[in-house]
Amino acid sequence: MENKRASLNLETSIDLEELVNKKKEHKPKVNKNELVSIAESSGFISRQPHKKNRRRKKSPFECQIGIKVRHDVKELFQDIGEYLDIYDHTTFELAILALLEKENAIDLLGRFKKITSKTRIE
């Protein structure tokens, strides 16, 4: 038994111009703002990522200080910051400022104000 392969039909000619010169249909232009407003009114939300704000400027708070405190003092310190709605570093600086003012340490107070004049303490 002889197995014959199927023919490739290379005898038929293919018109290459027909394949090359295909013209695309022009779609009507759509106003993007109008499209967004229609989509929002229909309940669709954008899947595009939100634009990110610029990077925050570098924090002046770079140095760390590791101090040992009593267990309850750490919790109290964090509660004070939470109560004032400020970060721990700001709570620490405000505590130093209050101590210097209470002790009337004018030379150290001037030094503290010079250091912190570059940044704003809330």
pLDDT digits (tens, 9 = 90+) for 79-103: 999 999 999 889 999 999 999 999 9
| Residue the block writes with tokens 């109560």 | 83
Kindly state whether residue 94 falls inside one of the protein's structural domains. Answer: yes
Number of domains, the chain? 1
Kindly state whether residue 95 falls inside one of the protein's structural domains. Answer: yes
Distance CA 38, CA 43 (A): 9
* Residues 36 and 46 sit within 8 Å (Cβ to Cβ): yes
Instruction: Flag whether pLDDT at 122 surpasses 70.
Output: no
Q: pTM of the predicted model, to two decimals?
A: 0.49
Residue count (the chain): 122
pLDDT tens figures, 101-119? 999 999 999 999 998 887 6
DSSP state of 82: H
Q: Which domain holds residue 111?
A: 71-116
